[in-house]
Each structure stands twice: as C-alpha cells, then as structure tokens.
Amino acid sequence: MPLQRALLPLVAALLVGALFLWSRSPDRGGRTYRSLDELKTVQEAGGYVPIGFFGDGWPATVVNVRTSLGTLTFARRDGSRHSYQGFEGYRLKVVHLVGPAQKEVIVVFRSDAPEGATENEESRQEAVRRI
C-alpha cells in the first residue's frame, strides 16, 4: 500500500511536467507570435534557420507544423504546391499560421546543422568509421 500512495503523486507530477513542457513548445498549436522576427528568434533558439515564407499577417497563431528530412512539400490554401528539395541530411520544418482576418502565413525552416552532425560538422558514422 505505501507504494500505491507514492505512485499517485508521482504520476500527477509527471503529468504537470509534461503539460508545462508542451505549453512552452514553439510548435504548439494555438501559440501566437507577434511578428515574423519573434517566430524566427524562437525557431533559431531551437536549432532552425528560416529559408522561406509566404504571406504577411501578424500577429499569427500556429495551426499546423510538419517536419521532414531532406525534402518538404506542402500546399497553400489557394492550392499552389511548394517543394523544398536538395537539403539532404537537414531536417525541414513548415509552420502554418493564421493571422488577422484568417490570413495565411507559412514559414519554412531547416535545421542549422545536418542530422547526426557532431560539433565539428562530421557525421557520427564517419567518426565511428575512423576509430
């Protein structure tokens, strides 16, 4: 029985911690950014650099975020499709936002370093092969 009494507060603390981390996520749906610069600053702190954007309606609220490795394709509301290719090894991210009067804003980011790169820009596999 003492284990069961200790388990409930532990589970509650884990849930509160998870909710706190989720609420601070830059990609959380419903999070509002006052400007493109604010969104860029937050994403850059998370290891992403901007490579493209569409629309201008700030403040804007995140409605969808998708990531992909190397290539990213998405469609705008008007049906036009866009594809970012040639980023082998990099993680790409598209952030869909909605601004005032339901204006569409889309910002595309790539990771600032290739996936699996070490601090000196070598891939982990190459470093392991050398040893």
Residue 13 lies in a domain: no
Is residue 14 in a domain? no
In a domain, 45, yes or no: yes
Residue 2 has pLDDT above 60, yes or no: yes
User: Is there a domain that residue 43 lies in?
Assistant: yes
pLDDT band at 123 (very low <50, low <70, confident <90, very high): very low
How far, in Å, CA of 112 to CA of 101, rounded? 33
Whether residue 11 lies inside any domain: the answer is: no
pLDDT 10s digits, 69-84: 999 999 999 999 999 9
**Residue 89 included in any domain:** yes
Q: Residue 9 pLDDT > 70, yes or no?
A: no
46 located within any domain: yes
Q: Is residue 126 part of a domain?
A: no
pTM over the 0.85 mark: no
Whether 106 contacts 95, CB under 8 Å: yes
Domain count, the chain: 1
Question: Token pair of 131, please?
Answer: 């040893």
Residue-range definition of the domain harbouring residue 93: 27-115
Beta partners for 97? 62, 105
Q: Compute the distance between CA of residue 82 and CA of residue 97 in angstroms, rounded to an integer.
A: 16
pLDDT in tens, 22-46: 444 678 789 999 999 999 999 999 9
